[in-house]
Structure 1
Amino acid sequence: MKTWTKRGALLGGALSFLSIAAARAQVQNPPLVRAPQQPQVFTPPPTSVVLRPDQVELLTRTLAQAPTHGFEPGDFSADAILPMLGSRDTATRQAGQAQLILNTLRYAKAVRSGRLAPDAFLGDWGLRPAAYDPGPDFMQAALQDRLGPWLDSLPPPYTGYQTLRKGLATYRDIAARGGWKPLAAGTPPLKLGAKNDPRIAALEARLAVEDPTVAVDGAPVFDEALQQALMRAQKRFGLNPDGGLGPQTLTALNVPVQRRIDQILANMERWRWLPQQLPADRIQVNIAAAVMSVFHDDAPNLTMRAVTGRPGDETPMLSSTIHSIVLNPPWNVPSSIAAKELWPKQRANPSYFANNDFVVIPTGDGGTRLQQKAGPKAALGLVKFDFNNPYGVYLHDTPSRSKFASFSRLASHGCVRLEKPIPLAKQLLAADPAWSPEVVDETIAAGKTVRAPLAQPIAVFLLYWTAYVTPDGQVNFRDDPYGWDRELVLRIAASTPGAA
């Protein structure tokens, strides 16, 4: 039995205090339980690969062709290290090979996933490339003697990208020859039958720069051949092909060649943001052209006009999956639209809400929100296609049909209005025997709001294409309504090493 002493009590108290503190420390910072150490596997860096002469030549040739993918000539060039690669000194030659490999890895990352850092994307650019580290793939390809196939696999594997690459070569060649001269404005606008106007010969020469089928004879007559050539150009620009040189056509023809090159470069870059393989069944919306296409087995089987966001209410780029369709949808009005557009109308006309089927719904926190009831006046029409996204946008019907007849269809608050939503709904619901076309029609006619989950959800891509190539080999251009082409080109330039 231990004898109690004051000193012992004090020491015991101190020891108890210390052990409590230690216990607390152990709870807060539990001792590390060390796992059995595994032998470390040393992975040599890609620059340690010793290249054969034929591999050096392959990488050098690939980097020399990098400008054909839209890169600047000096971005990845091996010209500066060619003397090192040919040196008789082993160390110098190895240093040259290491630099060649580094250039190749930078090129591989840029051509596969683009040149923007994640924080350089605008908020509305919701379509982002998958991260890509080319080092392991390079090492494996070198070890398996498959550098050629690996290099070939890096660019986007899509016809749209490859045809733009050819278009880039065409427009760079046009620029090297001096581009084109701007056409003078004048009255009256040129059209079929005009004669003895110096603008006719200038128009003919201008059209021939991009359209090799135009025969330049210099005759001051606006004949049928010139009208047809002008109509082809108007179609390439997405304009009304009326065959006359009006203000919109004149503006499109006077866009400088360097700006057209920049558009091609921006669109090639956006191709790199797509996954390496698109789903064979998907929906694609070209925001800039306001067109929607449904693909089945990688081929379009339904195309229609759309209405996309006006500047200031941009439709975002994104990818998602349509999981359900709402028949007879109500419209839950975004607070920004309610505050800016609808409440002022109600204050100006106290019967506006009632006349347009809007109801004010308490939110439970003392506030309110607006909802437009389903029906013939509903802004979402008869059908809404839902998919998850952080922007609150979707595809939908509309009771306002007149805009679909226009060649300029950027007029929504950001959602995508569809010209033929009922056929689309029936096609997407066809996999579910409970949703025959007759049942869809009956449900819509009944007027009740019903959500129909898709038996086979379908991928949806909202894309921004302002330059693309049609089957005839001609590059088609659209306006850059959101200024995203210019912004992307500027951000690419800012991300380039050595940029100011």
Structure 2
Amino acid sequence: MAVVVGMASAPGFAQQQTPPATPLVQPVPAVAPVQVVPPPTLSADQAAQLGKLLADAGFAHGLRHDGTATPRAGSNEAVARAALDYARAVHSGRLDTSDFQKDWGLRPAAYDPLPAFADAVKRDRIAAWFRSLPPPYAGYDGLQKGLEIYRKIEANGGWTALPAGPDMTVGASGPRVAALRKRLAVEDSDVVATGTKFDAELKDAVVRAQRRYGLNPTGLVSTGTLGALNVPAGDRVRQIMANMERWRWLPAELPAKRIQVNIAAAVLTVFEGDAPIASMKAVTGRPGNETPMLQSRIHSIVLNPPWNVPAGIAAKELFPKGAAYLARNNYKIIGTGAGRRIQQQPGPKSALGLYKFDFDNPYAVYLHDTPAQAKFASFDRLDSHGCVRLEKPGPLAQLLLRNDPAWQPEAIQEALGKGKTLRVQLQEQDKVQVYLLYWTAFASANGQMNFRSDPYGWDKTLAAKIERRSAITAVAAR
């Protein structure tokens, strides 16, 4: 961490008796004035057109939860300013730099909408410019359509929370089953909304709901399924709003070759030619040890990596277990006194397994193998200290090294067998962008909305920040 040290006054300066050779008050050098470029002048028709477009656009793109249309700005210049503010928000995010949390490391690129807006006004193509502003991704479009659907559900009263009680499955009956049918029918048009019996068709509907919510699709309605079904419709709206904002933080064009990790769902996907070619389960950070959102590039793979244990983990979890435990698990204490640290040596017990995928980032996180495989069988896989454990690191390493003749699968296995730590630099063309993202709402190909839990509470925080920032900018634009 860089340390900024303030300049200290020289000792005894105040006691010097010799008058200074130059005046104590120096003339301030002239500073060139900042050039403020005014927005373009709109015709009366253009101002009216923009006013109509702006009336509902912020609401449609999840920049506010309240459906009340924002008052139209009065003057020509005020309409132009409102259009520029909307353009910044819907193209690169509503949040200000000061609104980002430390672990929200994915930040939008700087964007100035004025040049394109001025050109659109000059050529009288304002509507086309307006349509070009949102992120050009099907994922964003799906969320926008889902936002409209769930806002209608919310406006119609949402749904009634299902009461707690015994688990429900085929053969159950009574008022709780009737309430379950009614609740499922709100999101699933194939469900018969009336009836008090839990039959095979209702079980199929429960399985569909569990898949939509990322739950184990058993068809048994227990605590986890009840919890997902009882999230209020308004919270689902805000969840969609938060995920739309995260789409706005992404670059205007994602690299066709990339690796994406959905932190909330704990899944890694490899893309080539802008299409998914491989996917695997992952284990991401537990609440309190959150995996940060970020964008970077994998530059190397470490075979047989040692684990340099972070100081906080060493102090809280390892040093208290004593020297015998550390020795049994191949940990080595390096240094003495306050500066001592722990390193786990490479081997079958190493917490990093056989592979570590390195990419530059300020959080000291990476992708890695693990000897603890049991968690991959779970639907809840948020259990790491912040790094991302991989279900199939070997195939991923082979995929990234497949163009390097020196590192074909046989060579990789030979190096692993020797047990020595070795860093393999990826060839320049094989270095791949990696995105750690937090997707908790997304639409499937048929338009059906899918939700995941918000384990870090980031959705509620982000949705509140969006609305607060929108309110601030609305006041400033008046």
Task: Report the TM-score when normalising by structure 2.
Answer: 0.89
Note the alpha carbon deviations across 1:363-419, whole angstroms, 9 max, x for none.
7x9721110000000000000000011100000000000000000000000000000
* Residue equivalent to 1:495: 469
* Residue equivalent to 1:199: 176
* Residue equivalent to 1:72: 64
In 2: Cα distance, 1:72 partner to 1:373 partner: 52
1:471 aligns with one of 445, 470, 478: 445
Please say if 1:184 is aligned against 2:157. no
- How do 1:404-423 residues align onto structure 2 when only pairs under 5 Å count? 404-423=376-395
- The 1:440/1:342 distance shift into structure 2, 3 A limit, reads same
- How do 1:391-402 residues align onto structure 2 when only pairs under 5 Å count? 391-402=363-374
1:316 aligns with one of 292, 296, 309: 292
- The 1:399/1:271 distance shift into structure 2, 3 A limit, reads same
* Residue equivalent to 1:112: 91
Note the alpha carbon deviations across 1:293-350, whole angstroms, 9 max, x for none.
011011111100000000100000111111000011000000100000000111xxx3
In 1: Cα distance, 2:113 partner to 2:354 partner: 48
* Residue equivalent to 1:232: 208
- How do 1:286-365 residues align onto structure 2 when only pairs under 5 Å count? 286-346=262-322, 350-362=323-335
Q: Are the counterparts in 2 of residues 328 and 382 from structure 1 also a CA contact under 8 Å?
A: yes
Note the alpha carbon deviations across 1:242-300, whole angstroms, 9 max, x for none.
10110110111111100111101111111111111111111100100000101101111
- Structure 1 residue 444 displacement after superposition: 1.2
Structure 2: state its 5+ residue gaps. 1-17
Identity of aligned residues (%): 54
Please say if 1:250 is aligned against 2:226. yes
* Residue equivalent to 2:3: none
Q: Output the amino acid matched with 1:69.
A: H
Q: Output the amino acid matched with 2:450.
A: N
Partner SS for 2:250? coil
Q: Are the counterparts in 2 of residues 307 and 411 from structure 1 also a CA contact under 8 Å?
A: yes
Q: CA RMSD in A?
A: 2.6
- Structure 1 residue 120 displacement after superposition: 1.4
Please say if 1:60 is aligned against 2:52. yes
- The 1:447/1:136 distance shift into structure 2, 3 A limit, reads same
Q: Are the counterparts in 2 of residues 66 and 76 from structure 1 also a CA contact under 8 Å?
A: no
Partner SS for 1:324? strand
* Residue equivalent to 2:100: 121
- Which entry has the higher C-alpha Rg, 1 or 2? 1
In 1: Cα distance, 2:65 partner to 2:330 partner: 60
- The 1:193/1:73 distance shift into structure 2, 3 A limit, reads closer
- The 1:241/1:148 distance shift into structure 2, 3 A limit, reads same
Q: Output the amino acid matched with 2:370.
A: T
* Residue equivalent to 2:7: none
Partner SS for 1:172? helix
In 2: Cα distance, 1:378 partner to 1:275 partner: 37
Q: Are the counterparts in 2 of residues 397 and 418 from structure 1 also a CA contact under 8 Å?
A: yes
Partner SS for 1:497? helix
Q: Are the counterparts in 2 of residues 76 and 103 from structure 1 also a CA contact under 8 Å?
A: no
- Structure 1 residue 49 displacement after superposition: 1.4
Q: Are the counterparts in 1 of residues 64 and 467 from structure 2 also a CA contact under 8 Å?
A: no
2:115 aligns with one of 129, 136, 144: 136
- Structure 1 residue 433 displacement after superposition: 1.4
In 1: Cα distance, 2:89 partner to 2:67 partner: 10
Partner SS for 2:314? helix
Q: Are the counterparts in 2 of residues 60 and 78 from structure 1 also a CA contact under 8 Å?
A: no
Q: Output the amino acid matched with 1:352.
A: Y
Q: Output the amino acid matched with 1:186.
A: G
- Structure 1 residue 54 displacement after superposition: 5.4
- Structure 1 residue 142 displacement after superposition: 1.6
Note the alpha carbon deviations across 1:138-178, whole angstroms, 9 max, x for none.
11222233323322221111111110000000000111111
2:41 aligns with one of 46, 49, 74: 49
Q: What count of residue pairs does the alignment treat as equivalent?
A: 452
Q: Are the counterparts in 1 of residues 260 and 436 from structure 2 also a CA contact under 8 Å?
A: yes
Q: Are the counterparts in 2 of residues 56 and 97 from structure 1 also a CA contact under 8 Å?
A: no
- Structure 1 residue 439 displacement after superposition: 1.1
Task: Report the TM-score when normalising by structure 1.
Answer: 0.85
**Larger RCO (alpha carbons 8 Å, 6+ apart):** 2
* Residue equivalent to 1:149: 128
Q: Output the amino acid matched with 1:355.
A: R
Q: Output the amino acid matched with 1:70.
A: G
* Residue equivalent to 1:162: 141
Q: Output the amino acid matched with 1:45.
A: P
Q: Are the counterparts in 1 of residues 301 and 356 from structure 2 also a CA contact under 8 Å?
A: yes
Q: Are the counterparts in 2 of residues 308 and 415 from structure 1 also a CA contact under 8 Å?
A: yes
2:346 aligns with one of 351, 374, 377: 374
- Structure 1 residue 446 displacement after superposition: 1.8
Note the alpha carbon deviations across 1:165-222, whole angstroms, 9 max, x for none.
00000000111111111111122x1101223x22112111110100112133x23221
Q: Are the counterparts in 1 of residues 181 and 195 from structure 2 also a CA contact under 8 Å?
A: no
Q: Are the counterparts in 2 of residues 179 and 256 from structure 1 also a CA contact under 8 Å?
A: yes
* Farther off after superposition, 466-475 or 326-335: 466-475
Q: Are the counterparts in 2 of residues 60 and 100 from structure 1 also a CA contact under 8 Å?
A: no
* Farther off after superposition, 281-290 or 134-143: 134-143
* Farther off after superposition, 49-58 or 129-138: 49-58
